[in-house]
């Protein structure tokens, strides 16, 4: 039986701005199993970023339930959510979010500081993660000594280092040129082949087609949720 990593039931998110009430999410019920590779797609204002924030435990829903890896995180406190984020979720952002004065090794090891690993264990795990994304020889380099693609690989290594339940990638190719974008999608493909659960948020159709399932959002609702029958694969 497949294990559900993500299960949302009728989740909604409402923001009040002055006299106006904005329903960013109206009702979203989805399930993602361990080992799946899914893409959230939708135009600006569709709710995909709000849904990603809730799934990433960066925000909580106004209504409904969200079960992450067997834990109900719908009503958790900020501190509880922070602990869950560090343990369960590996984030990859469009803007890389790396510390500019820290080496690749220090950037990747950072999540392990909060998990109580010793310095030597942190460094060992960080080098393993950097090696897995093809940067084992660049661990002393700082972000400004790397290309955009290499910086995103550092960010992916940081997302992997804690062995998270899901890798959550928000527009991971948004700041990259076409060739580098496809290199990064090739890497995500390998990570999925290795058994990682990946959720990607993108507005680019060609990037979404690397995922095995595409969930399209519109006006805070799921417009369609379909298996991708034409999966893009990187060039051999």
pLDDT one-digit tens code per residue, 140-171: 999 999 999 999 999 999 999 999 999 999 99
The answer to whether 63 and 10 are in contact (CB under 8 A) is yes
pLDDT averaged over every residue in the chain: 92
Predicted local confidence at residue 236, as pLDDT: 43
pLDDT at 175 over 50: yes
Q: How far apart are CA 14 and CA 205, in angstroms?
A: 28
Domain 36-63+77-227 fold is Rossmann fold (3.40.50)
Ordered by start, the domain boundaries in the chain are 36-63+77-227
pLDDT tens, position by position, 110-132: 989 888 889 999 999 999 999 99
pLDDT at 184 over 80: yes
Predicted local confidence at residue 235, as pLDDT: 58
Q: How far apart are CA 151 and CA 62, in angstroms?
A: 35
Q: Which of 22-26, 145-149, 173-177 has the lowest mean pLDDT?
A: 173-177
Start-to-end CA distance of the chain, whole Å, equals: 33
Look at the block and give the residue holding tokens 């979010």: 97
Q: How many CB atoms lie within 10 A of CB 126?
A: 27
Predicted local confidence at residue 2, as pLDDT: 75
- Give CA angle at 90 (59, 202), nearest 5°: 75
Q: What is the 3-state secondary structure (H, E, C) of the chain?
A: CCCEEEEEEEEEEEEEECCEEEEEEEEEEEEEECCCEEEEECCCCCCHHHHHHHHCCCCCCCEEEEEECCEECCCCCHHHHHHHHHHHEEEECCCCCCCCCCCHHHHHHHHHHCCCCCHHHHHHHHHHHHHHCCCCCCCCCCHHHCCHHHHHHHHHHHHHCCCCCEEEEECCCCCCCHHHHHHHHHHHHHHHHCCCCEEEECCCHHHHCCCCEEEEEECCEEEEEEECCCCCCCCC
pLDDT at 68 over 50: yes
Q: How far apart are CA 141 and CA 12, in angstroms?
A: 43
pLDDT at 86 over 60: yes
Predicted local confidence at residue 115, as pLDDT: 81
pLDDT at 74 over 50: yes
The answer to whether 234 and 189 are in contact (CB under 8 A) is yes
pLDDT band for position 44 (50/70/90)?
Answer: confident
- Give CA angle at 113 (52, 54), nearest 5°: 15
């Amino acid at each position: 039986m497949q294990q559900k990593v993500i299960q949302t039931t009728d989740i909604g998110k409402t923001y009040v701005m002055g006299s106006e009430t904005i329903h960013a999410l109206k009702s979203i019920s989805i399930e993602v199993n361990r080992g799946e590779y899914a893409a959230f797609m939708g135009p600006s204002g569709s709710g995909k970023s709000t849904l990603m924030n809730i799934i990433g435990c960066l925000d909580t829903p106004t209504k409904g339930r969200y079960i992450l890896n067997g834990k109900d995180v719908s009503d958790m406190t900020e501190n509880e959510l922070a602990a869950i984020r560090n343990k369960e979720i590996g984030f990859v952002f469009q803007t890389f979010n790396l510390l500019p004065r820290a080496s690749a090794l220090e950037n990747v090891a950072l999540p392990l500081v909060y998990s109580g690993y010793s310095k030597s264990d942190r460094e060992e795990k960080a080098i393993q993660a950097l090696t897995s994304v093809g940067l084992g020889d660049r661990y002393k380099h700082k972000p400004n000594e790397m290309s955009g693609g290499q910086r995103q690989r550092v960010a992916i290594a940081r997302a992997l280092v804690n062995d998270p339940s899901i890798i959550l990638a928000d527009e991971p190719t948004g700041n990259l040129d076409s060739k580098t974008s496809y290199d990064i999608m090739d890497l995500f493909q390998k990570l999925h082949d290795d058994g990682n659960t990946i959720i990607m948020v993108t507005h680019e159709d060609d990037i979404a087609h690397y995922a095995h399932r595409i969930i399209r959002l519109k006006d805070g609702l799921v417009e369609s949720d379909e298996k991708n029958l034409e999966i893009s694969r990187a060039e051999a």
